[in-house]
Amino acid sequence: MDNSVVEIIINKLDGYHKEAVCELDFGSVYELLVAVILSAQCTDKRVNIVTKDLFAVANTPVEMLKLGSERLEKIILPCGFYRNKAKNILGASEKILSDYGGEVPGTLEELIKLPGVGRKTANVVYAVGFGGDAIAVDTHVFRVSRRIGFSNGATPLDVEEDLMRIIPKDKWSKTHHLLIHQGRYVCSSRMPKCDICPIADECSSRNAK
């Protein structure tokens, strides 16, 4: 896709989704990490309801480990996949204490070493928690990027690499949020709202019809 078209799309999305920011509630980088782990295959809205109760009793690695798996699983049950998520949260908390002095590491390389932290989670924490330049490819970013012609990648990593290639680095994090909001509120999976889409004229899928 031509760089000028990419710029037009980003500018239009920025004008339409003026409040495009991370919608997870958190008060520290550690809380953000936990929230992102919980958000896998779960809505941010539900995660925020769960973390309100969770962070009231445990919002540090030490407190989380004291909480233990049984109590943690019970609290995060509504987020789904609660056993695996609890295992990852506790594993990450233990490694943060043992290897990083109780502080969440601030580089992608170190974040990915934490249990349960894949590339998407690391990118979110790095970009939102530390102000780094990164593009996290979730289901929304993956779907929208392919539909509008930003990428034809078959995997999230393929799409991430395509986005990093065509989008200026200083706009990676912002564009990540714009694409999420576009996918969440306009370009939905089953019934995209093409009639209100701000980039309908530039959309590859729409123009291919």
Q: Phi-psi bin for 83: left (phi > 0), alpha (psi -120 to 50), beta?
A: alpha
Q: Which residue blocks in the chain are alpha helix, DSSP H?
A: 3-16, 29-38, 44-57, 61-76, 82-100, 108-111, 119-124, 130, 139-148, 156-166, 172-185, 204-207
Catalytic residue among 12, 85, 120, 174: 120
87-97 burial by CB neighbour count: b if 16+ within 10 A, else e? bbbbebbebbb
The yes-or-no answer on residue 120 being catalytic is yes
The yes-or-no answer on residue 99 being catalytic is no
Are the C-beta atoms of 76 and 85 separated by less than 8 Å? yes
Catalytic residue among 12, 85, 138, 162: 138
Location of structure tokens 């109760």: 53
Backbone angles phi, psi at 135, to 5 degrees: -125, 110
- 190 by Cβ neighbours in 10 Å (0-12 / 13-18 / 19+) ranks as exposed
- Residues tagged active-site: 120, 138
